[in-house]
Structure 1
Amino acid sequence: MQRIYIILFFALAVTYGQSQNSLEGIVTDAETSQPLLGIQVYFPKLEKGSVSDEDGTFKIVGLPIGNYKLVVSSIGFQTYSETVTLAKGSNSLNVALSPSAIEMEEVIVSTPFHKLQRENVMKVERANVAELKTRGAVTLSDGITDVPGVESVSTGLGIGKPVIRGLSSNRVLVYTQGVRLENQQFGDEHGLGISDAGIESIEVIKGPASLLYGSDAMGGVLYLNPERFANAGETDADVNLSYFSNTRGFDGDVGIASSSEKFKFLVRGSAASHTDYETGGESVTNSRFREYDLKTGLGYQTTTLKTELRYNYNNLKLGIPEELGKRTSARTPESPYQQIDNHILSSKTSVFFDKSSLEATFGYTFNTRKEFEEGEDGAALDMDLVTFNYNLQYHLPKWGNLETIFGVQGMHQTNSNFGEELLIPDANTNDIGIMGTSHIHFKNDSDLQLGLRYDYRSIDGKASGPLGEEGAIEALNRDFNSFNAAVGYKKDFLENFTGRINLASGFRAPNLAELTSNGVHEGTNRYERGNSALTNEQNLQTDLSLEYGNEHIEVYINGFYNAVNNYIFIEPDGSTIGGNAVFSYRQQDADLYGGEIGLHIHPHPLDWLHVESSFESVTGKLADDGHLPLIPANTFSNTLRTEFSGSGSWLSSSYAFVTLKSVFKQDKVSGFETVTDGYSLLSLGVGGTVSVLDQEMKVRISGNNILDKDYFSHLSRLKTDGISNIGRNIHLGVSIPL
């Protein structure tokens, strides 16, 4: 027993000694040399930070020894990003920030080296969820459509899934809490199944990301960053409330986060309820939905160890809209409807050595999907999907300007059926991938990033039903594998120009629905027939981007060409079974190409004025010159935005915007799609931070489709039923820190 006490004593002594490593300093204005208050000072890799006080001073304790990226940022100033060498004991650093009208830069988490966007070789779009809320987004899938190059395939308001440059479903991977979100996303009418409450920001990789994430990331990645823990020694709490006029919808969430030097905790609960939405003049029967969501996290951190455990429970009850009707106040969906439960448990641990680190992420997801049909007792479709995934990455010691990561990723997944209907069979899926990637920074303001990866996937599906009959599924035992590589180069030139070129390959193994379907899919009203002989989709994409920015203007041009071998698609074969058209899965080479152009004017000294324009286009064609289905129409968006700060004792900041979004006619359609006419939507909003009885709160008012335009989105699955998209919708919101 005495030996145990001696060991514990020395362990505590070592921990105590290590905890004395710290960084302190002063943040000042580079033009006035005055100290700055409220500046964020943050180590992204360590997830530790502080905020400067009235004297501009900050102090961060409990830091490991080594070289780590430090980011110092605030709205109105150019973001400071440098690698800092931390030695044992007390370290000091003073930072002078230069004023800037450009929005505050954030660290990109979805790429492996955690750099600011301007430092990244790969172009990644980032959107703050709080900003999306100011625009009146009803759901997360609705909000992501504000990101250039990103759209959503929708079934009413409650069901939506991301489309990145024309690719969707299993070709776009969604990550949340650092793990892949698996929720039967193969189905057209299967949405994200996650609330925006407790999500801080969204990052979008537009293009093959198989090097980083393996199969199913050939079209891109939607990376959801959870809200951060509070800074050490602080406790934060807030409540957020919203009302939507069109659906008479309410949603609200409340959260609290508290941290000591070592322990961290947060919890956030939310609820949403919506009635049927109205088009330009009619109500869409059974488009109502409700959602409950709980997110919680627990963290522990010392100088050499950082670990966190997060859990998310999401419950959705979604009506399946089928017709137009009279407006009702009903909020409970009627048959047909979906009931979905998602449990996401994740752990992320980082161990810091003197010059290297090891990161281990594990995820467990339990998804239950039930679909109830009219006139039937119990769930006609009842599927459980259990997924365990892991991601181990070792960050090698930095060698000069070379950073290298080696990693192993994998997944074990089990699908089980309990209902009368089977869309996909009981099956086990196993993945394993090995990857390596390096980033080199050259002294001539250029960077090179490259990597290589090998993946293996096996699918073992069980037979179901008498062979030869409707709904019968043969046993399946298939293996898939692929090598993939990526190389990218970034160069800063002519002072304000940045150029990027990226060449990456990706792949996707066919999913269970594509391999085994044999029956009527009620969600699409067609008989679907799979093809067990399907092979890997393999693509190669080239991305080019050019950016220019100064204190008055920012311009970007992004272009891409995506060649996909053995693209899997579904099309009618001309026959019918039981009155339903038969759709069969086929493969053919395909090409997608297009890009985005953007302009942001913020004339100095009129820093409060912003003029933003963007144009996005994508074309998808098959080798036989036919067009791919569900390709977004060309879109041209223009926004006039104003921002003010310190404008009064009761109004500390304010903003206003007006946006005109013009969507062009989509006449490049597949053989079983129809042409969609163009339309223009006018939106506007105002908001700000106000003080009422010494209580600060953020208030926002916005209106979408202000002119109550009756229109069809080309990506709406209700278009074939003659059901328009949502009409005028006024959003009122308030956020109150407690």
Structure 2
Amino acid sequence: MNLFRVLVIALCFISMVMTGQRVYQLSGRVLDENGILLPGASVWMEPYGVGVITDASGVYRFRQLQEGEYRLQVAFLGYRTHIAEVQVSGDVVKDVRLEPLRQTLEEVVVTDDYARRRQQEQSLAVEVVGDDFIRQYQGGSLMQSLARLPGVGSLDIGSGQSKPMIRGLGFNRVVVVENGIRHEGQQWGADHGLEIDQYAVERAVVIKGPASLLYGSDAIAGTIDLSTADVPAIGSLGGVWDVTGKSNNRLVGNSLLVRGRGQRAYFSVRGTFTAYGDYHVPADSVDIYSYRAPLDDGHLRNTAGREANGHLTLGWLGQQFSSRLHASVVSSQSGFFANAHGLEPRRVDTRLHDASRRDIQEPSQQVWHLKLINRNEWHTPLWHLEGEGGYQRNVRHEWSPYTQHGYMPALFPDTLGFASDLERAFDKHIVSGNVRAHYVGYERLKLSMGMSAEHQVNRIDGRNFLIPAYRQTMGGVFAYGRYQLHGAHWLHAGVRFDAGVISSEPYADWFPSPVVTGSDTVWMYLARAPELRRTMGSFTWSMGYHIDHESWSLKANLGKSFRMPIAKELAANGVNYHHFSYEVGNAGLSPEVAYQADGLAEWRGRDVAIGITPFVAYFSNYIYLNPEAAHDRLYGNGNQVFTYEQSRVLRYGGEWHMHWTPVRSLTIGAMGEVVVSRQLSGDKQGYTLPFSPPASLLMSLRYAPLVNGVVRNPYVSIECRMAAPQNRVVPPEEKTPGYQVVNVGIGGDLTWGERSLKMSLQVQNLLDVQYFNHISFYRMIHVPEPGRNVVLNVSIPIFEINNKLSMCFVNQGK
């Protein structure tokens, strides 16, 4: 290491001598509008493309600068990004005073101008949040944290698993992207959570509306774009330890991050481990159809779990070319509520399950998800090229004691290739890639073109059949442009073509069943799924217009989106023990097509911000599960039969928000959302859609005083979420009463020297109210939402090293 430093100093000295030019220093302070110093502000300098963070005194400093003109971009949480031109012909001192940013969404804050840029790139409603927001509202999963945003919800499976919902639509109608590659798991199942480490997410972008143009099939409701492992500052090396504790399910979470950067190369390593017990609900029993299951002290037996994750990022940032490699493994083991699996709630061994709050008994699931992603960027004077390649493997095993159903043998045979308690297993391999080219040669025209492709292979195993093994290949090409008409007026337009083929394998029972033919009865291995092959394709398009002034914005968008039917919808034929139903696919389903109009109107005044984002969508052939009068007798004890059908559907609604700052540091907020759905054809004409969320309102009060001492950025918040009753249901779906839930929070940064410890404390469901979330997985068996939950999250900087010599090396090397 000493030899390396000597070489760096020697290179700097030789470079200065050879150039024969003097070098100078640019420094200054970053202050707020009241003249208070802002430590931790980011200062980015062009054309060198280097950045620094202001120290504890709010001072930034660039050394070894040659004579010339430079551009500074200064950003800090909650303030407008400041850009200044600086002429350097000697040592220069340049102080920067930032103006506060009137946020349109309380606490939804992102550093620099990234959020503004993403909002300008879309004529749809876009929400951008950073890791501070995710930690402040941390729930049992990433989606429970993002559910704080208007129009975003989560379909929860216990306390540790959840699926994203946007405007009441989820599953394969929402695309989740991580580091540029579509996340692919078993997202068709309500009991299959999202295999993403919430500690690793540093930025989340939520696009509400038809995003098929840029993200392809399945983005019919919207997209959640996640980024992990932001680029560290030059010459830095540091570590952060995130610790989380939750009272309701006794969760203990730990996540350790170490990252650093030299001049061009950087790395990031993270390890996460969480463990939690059975979660508590404010009830002493739950009604499971005709049986009332008692609870031991309000705990849902066998809902404990644990999770262990690892992440590695390696990157290289050049002047024209940059590349980064992301590798991650997310693994978890969790139990299913023992009384809510299959049709044996009475046969649960309560003494075994209630002996420990933290053990995981059957029924349970084990999930392992591997992800490898390579992202590359190449800049030329006229073009900006981007590309990603990825490989994923998702392995899921669901375990439960063997129980004879229908004509299954009383004793499980030992001649099969799987264990008797392996209920179902899925092994999915995904290879995917994207290429995009952005034309930057004309200031008023932003043109993007690209293509994407993905190949999936999903194998199955286990004793219970629901969907067949299948292969699926999809691909698409698109062109999208933004044209600046004049001033802040932008016109958006694009077109895309997608095509795909899905082929499923035949499947027959592993046990024989009697088949009556005339006067004879023959025992046969019944075929559950035939060989199937479908090829589909569709053009999609989008056009929009937006105006983005300093104090107000307007957006309008009209688009067509498209979704290929999945294997479950085409070829399911089995019992879904999580839903107590027998599901049958429909091989004749056509691709789902939707036409949607979206709008946005937003005004940001000095003390008030108000906005509305309405939408209306028409589905020409919406795919849904239709309950039949028939009941299955072969594979279960009378499960009702559900078949996949299509109908015309109209959906409309929107979100609104208002925030008022009557005095400095005090913000009063309100956010509301409503979705209305109506089936226009089919057996359920006139009804709504299943799992339609009720109208809701979130009232909030936040006090965040400006202080500049040991405690910085403190806040105290209280909020009340009110949901209306959901009386518009599809039989046999049941109505859900309305509710009011109060949450409180407090947090801030404790600083010493140049380090800052971030803390947030929440009390969720402060009054321990018993309420039911209409889109919750267990709501159908009358399981209320978790009771009072105290959540503490602490982010501790372990160490931080800044190598100032690297600045000399970088500047002289240019």
Q: What's the TM-score, normalizing by structure 2?
A: 0.81
The offset of 1:330, in angstroms, is 3.3
**Correspondence for 2:648:** 589
**Correspondence for 2:672:** 615
**Correspondence for 2:10:** none
1:444 and 1:286, CA in 2 relative to 1: closer, same or farther beyond 3 A? same
The offset of 1:42, in angstroms, is 4.9
For 1:662 and 1:560, how far apart are their aligned partners in 2? 22
Shifted more, 150-159 versus 583-592: the winner is 150-159
Tell me, which stretches of 5 or more residues in structure 1 are unaligned? 1-12, 63-67
For 1:610 and 1:266, how far apart are their aligned partners in 2? 36
The AA in structure 2 aligned to 1:517 is A
**Correspondence for 1:310:** 326
The offset of 1:691, in angstroms, is 4.6
User: Could you tell me the percent identity over the aligned residues?
Assistant: 27
Q: Is the Cα contact below 8 Å between 1:388 and 1:413 reproduced in 2?
A: yes
**Aligned counterpart for 1:301 among listed residues 305, 314, 317:** 317
1:106 and 1:30, CA in 2 relative to 1: closer, same or farther beyond 3 A? closer
Q: Is the Cα contact below 8 Å between 1:484 and 1:506 reproduced in 2?
A: yes
1:306 and 1:552, CA in 2 relative to 1: closer, same or farther beyond 3 A? same
The AA in structure 2 aligned to 1:381 is R
1:60 and 1:314, CA in 2 relative to 1: closer, same or farther beyond 3 A? farther
The offset of 1:109, in angstroms, is 7.1
**Correspondence for 1:167:** 169
For 1:574 and 1:137, how far apart are their aligned partners in 2? 39
For 1:441 and 1:69, how far apart are their aligned partners in 2? 24
For 2:72 and 2:431, how far apart are their aligned partners in 1? 33
Superposed CA offset, 1:143-173 (max 9, x none)? 1210100111122112210110111100001
For 2:753 and 2:229, how far apart are their aligned partners in 1? 28
The offset of 1:711, in angstroms, is 1.2
**Correspondence for 2:157:** 155
**Correspondence for 2:8:** none
Q: Is the Cα contact below 8 Å between 1:272 and 1:290 reproduced in 2?
A: yes
Q: Is the Cα contact below 8 Å between 1:687 and 1:699 reproduced in 2?
A: yes
Q: Is the Cα contact below 8 Å between 1:470 and 1:519 reproduced in 2?
A: no
1:471 and 1:124, CA in 2 relative to 1: closer, same or farther beyond 3 A? farther
Shifted more, 421-430 versus 657-666: the winner is 421-430
Superposed CA offset, 1:166-189 (max 9, x none)? 111000011112111101101121
Q: Is the Cα contact below 8 Å between 2:277 and 2:357 reproduced in 1?
A: yes
3-state secondary structure, aligned to 1:133: helix
Does residue 451 of structure 2 align to residue 395 of structure 1?
no
3-state secondary structure, aligned to 2:676: strand
The offset of 1:33, in angstroms, is 9.1
**Aligned counterpart for 2:697 among listed residues 617, 620, 636:** 636
1:392 and 1:168, CA in 2 relative to 1: closer, same or farther beyond 3 A? same
Q: Is the Cα contact below 8 Å between 1:508 and 1:536 reproduced in 2?
A: yes
Shifted more, 629-638 versus 153-162: the winner is 153-162
The offset of 1:420, in angstroms, is 2.8
**Correspondence for 2:243:** 241
Superposed CA offset, 1:604-642 (max 9, x none)? xx3311111101000111112111001111111011111
The offset of 1:692, in angstroms, is 7.3
**Correspondence for 1:558:** 613
Q: Is the Cα contact below 8 Å between 2:30 and 2:54 reproduced in 1?
A: no
**Correspondence for 1:9:** none
The offset of 1:96, in angstroms, is 4.9
The offset of 1:396, in angstroms, is 1.9
The AA in structure 1 aligned to 2:658 is L
**Correspondence for 2:360:** 333
For 2:629 and 2:73, how far apart are their aligned partners in 1? 60
**Aligned counterpart for 2:761 among listed residues 701, 717, 733:** 701
The 5-angstrom pairing of residues 565-604 of structure 1 reads 565-578=620-633, 579-603=638-662
Does residue 524 of structure 2 align to residue 481 of structure 1?
no
Does residue 187 of structure 2 align to residue 185 of structure 1?
yes
The offset of 1:417, in angstroms, is 1.7
**Aligned counterpart for 1:666 among listed residues 726, 735, 743:** 726
The offset of 1:47, in angstroms, is 9.2
For 1:40 and 1:31, how far apart are their aligned partners in 2? 17
The AA in structure 2 aligned to 1:717 is F
The offset of 1:546, in angstroms, is 0.5
1:262 and 1:675, CA in 2 relative to 1: closer, same or farther beyond 3 A? same
The offset of 1:491, in angstroms, is 1.5
Superposed CA offset, 1:245-283 (max 9, x none)? 110111110101100111110011111111111111411
Tell me, which stretches of 5 or more residues in structure 2 are unaligned? 1-14, 104-108, 284-297, 341-349, 403-418, 510-514, 516-523, 799-814
The offset of 1:222, in angstroms, is 1.2
How many positions carry a matched residue from both structures?
707
Does residue 365 of structure 2 align to residue 365 of structure 1?
no
The AA in structure 2 aligned to 1:634 is A
**Correspondence for 1:735:** 795
Q: Is the Cα contact below 8 Å between 2:506 and 2:530 reproduced in 1?
A: yes
For 1:199 and 1:59, how far apart are their aligned partners in 2? 30
For 2:99 and 2:420, how far apart are their aligned partners in 1? 64
Q: Is the Cα contact below 8 Å between 1:270 and 1:294 reproduced in 2?
A: yes
Q: Is the Cα contact below 8 Å between 1:323 and 1:721 reproduced in 2?
A: no
1:323 and 1:42, CA in 2 relative to 1: closer, same or farther beyond 3 A? farther
**Aligned counterpart for 2:686 among listed residues 625, 650, 672:** 625
Shifted more, 127-136 versus 251-260: the winner is 127-136
For 1:417 and 1:122, how far apart are their aligned partners in 2? 39
For 2:495 and 2:367, how far apart are their aligned partners in 1? 37
3-state secondary structure, aligned to 2:214: helix
The offset of 1:554, in angstroms, is 0.6
Q: Is the Cα contact below 8 Å between 1:108 and 1:203 reproduced in 2?
A: no
**Correspondence for 2:546:** 490
Q: Is the Cα contact below 8 Å between 1:101 and 1:607 reproduced in 2?
A: no
The AA in structure 1 aligned to 2:730 is S
**Correspondence for 1:684:** 744
3-state secondary structure, aligned to 1:718: helix
Superposed CA offset, 1:87-112 (max 9, x none)? xxx9x9979554215355557879xx
**Correspondence for 2:262:** 260
Does residue 592 of structure 2 align to residue 537 of structure 1?
yes
For 1:234 and 1:347, how far apart are their aligned partners in 2? 23
Q: Which has the larger radius of gyration?
A: 2
**Correspondence for 2:209:** 207
Q: Is the Cα contact below 8 Å between 1:615 and 1:634 reproduced in 2?
A: yes
1:597 and 1:471, CA in 2 relative to 1: closer, same or farther beyond 3 A? farther
For 2:111 and 2:158, how far apart are their aligned partners in 1? 33
Superposed CA offset, 1:182-202 (max 9, x none)? 011011211112120111122
1:711 and 1:469, CA in 2 relative to 1: closer, same or farther beyond 3 A? farther
**Correspondence for 1:195:** 197
The AA in structure 1 aligned to 2:652 is Y
For 2:426 and 2:195, how far apart are their aligned partners in 1? 15
**Correspondence for 2:289:** none
1:97 and 1:108, CA in 2 relative to 1: closer, same or farther beyond 3 A? closer
3-state secondary structure, aligned to 1:665: coil
For 1:646 and 1:541, how far apart are their aligned partners in 2? 46
For 1:199 and 1:735, how far apart are their aligned partners in 2? 14
For 1:471 and 1:496, how far apart are their aligned partners in 2? 64
Does residue 507 of structure 2 align to residue 505 of structure 1?
no
Does residue 417 of structure 2 align to residue 379 of structure 1?
no
The offset of 1:316, in angstroms, is 1.1
The offset of 1:207, in angstroms, is 0.8
For 2:614 and 2:71, how far apart are their aligned partners in 1? 31
3-state secondary structure, aligned to 2:771: coil
The AA in structure 1 aligned to 2:625 is I
For 1:161 and 1:26, how far apart are their aligned partners in 2? 47
Does residue 102 of structure 2 align to residue 102 of structure 1?
yes
3-state secondary structure, aligned to 1:185: coil
**Aligned counterpart for 1:137 among listed residues 132, 136, 139:** 139
3-state secondary structure, aligned to 1:141: helix
